[in-house]
Amino acid sequence: MCGNDKRIQDPTVHGRQFGQNSIGAPWTSRRPHGIYFVGASAMSIKPSPFWSCGSPDRDLLRQNSPVVAPILLGMMICNARLGLVITGVEAYGGEDDEASHAHRGPSVRNASMFKDGGTLYVYLSYGIHKCVNVVTGAVFSGQAVLVRSGVLVSFGGQPDKFGEAFGDLQPVCGPGRVGRSLGAELSDDGSDLLCDGRWKLIDTREAVGIDGVPFLASARVGISRARDLPWAFQVDRSKIEANIYRLEHG
């Protein structure tokens, strides 16, 4: 069931089913599908420590964007190839927020912002960058949270592109780099992050120990209006990286 399915769905990696080990034989015990880490060898497959984490409840994401934004810190947004633990976000309101794409109402470009909380909103910035957002609020409220930074913690298809050694943690800063690292495309816009599909939002907050990491609220950047609102939120990325490293290596 969408929004309540506790599995991370991704049927294959390197052409093999997740139900098989590195030589194609079945696992000795049945395990859910999940994000898998790829080691230094392309044939070395290890279950991610996040495989048992589920999606957040949709009602959690139906709250207003300034409420949801800090809640997203420590969650993982992922697609069929890789995942990013979120460490920095910015909240954008509906038509009452002059800095929001929804300020002038629905359009072809911002249509996804007016969908239900938990929808993926991807837009093109400066004709180059594909920026990743999590839609919040109820249907027609026009709110979203921009993902500004994170830690790339898993990869499934191209290990040589993100680092060959198992456990490499790749810091990603800036919304353009976030979109590029996650392989975001404009065709992904409107995807449901809580249903089985290429994109998923996974509640990994407990796994990465986010409760022990304070966050900082500040003004949003790169905007010309409503610059005084403290709707940008970030955590100390180094502490998240240390927690993930301990999680991976025990």
Could you give the CA distance from residue 231 to residue 29 in angstroms, rounded to a whole number?
45
Q: Residues 32, 7: contact at Cβ < 8 Å?
A: yes
66 confidence band (pLDDT: 50, 70, 90): very high
Query: Is 3 contained in some domain?
Result: no
CA distance 201 to 77: 5
Of the pLDDT bands very low, low, confident and very high (cuts 50, 70, 90), residue 114 is very high
What residues are paired with 83 via a beta bridge? 78, 154
Residue 50 within a domain: no
pLDDT at position 165, please? 31
Query: Per the domain annotation, does 38 fall within a domain?
Result: no
CATH number of the domain enclosing 204: 3.10.300.10
Question: Over the chain, what is the mean pLDDT?
Answer: 76
Number of folded domains in the chain? 1
How many other β-carbons are positioned within 10 Å of the β-carbon of residue 121? 29
- Is 39 a domain residue? no
At 24 the pLDDT is 31
120-175 pLDDT, tens per residue? 999 998 878 899 999 999 999 999 999 999 998 764 444 334 333 334 678 999 99
Global pTM value: 0.76
pLDDT tens per residue, range 187-232: 999 999 998 788 999 999 998 999 878 899 998 887 767 777 898 9
- The residue-averaged pLDDT of 30-56 equals 50
Q: Is residue 176 part of a domain?
A: yes
Most confident of 45-49, 97-101, 207-211: 207-211
- Is residue 230 included in any domain, yes or no? yes
Average pLDDT for residues 229-246, to the nearest whole number?
A: 88
* Distances, alpha carbon 237 to alpha carbons 98, 169, 205, 241, 248, in Å: 30, 11, 13, 6, 16
Question: Quick check: is 13 in a domain?
Answer: no
The range of the structural domain enclosing residue 214 comes to: 56-249
pLDDT for the residue 2: 55
Residue at 26 is within a domain: no
pLDDT score recorded for residue 18: 29
Q: CA–CA separation, 29 vs 14, rounded Å?
A: 21
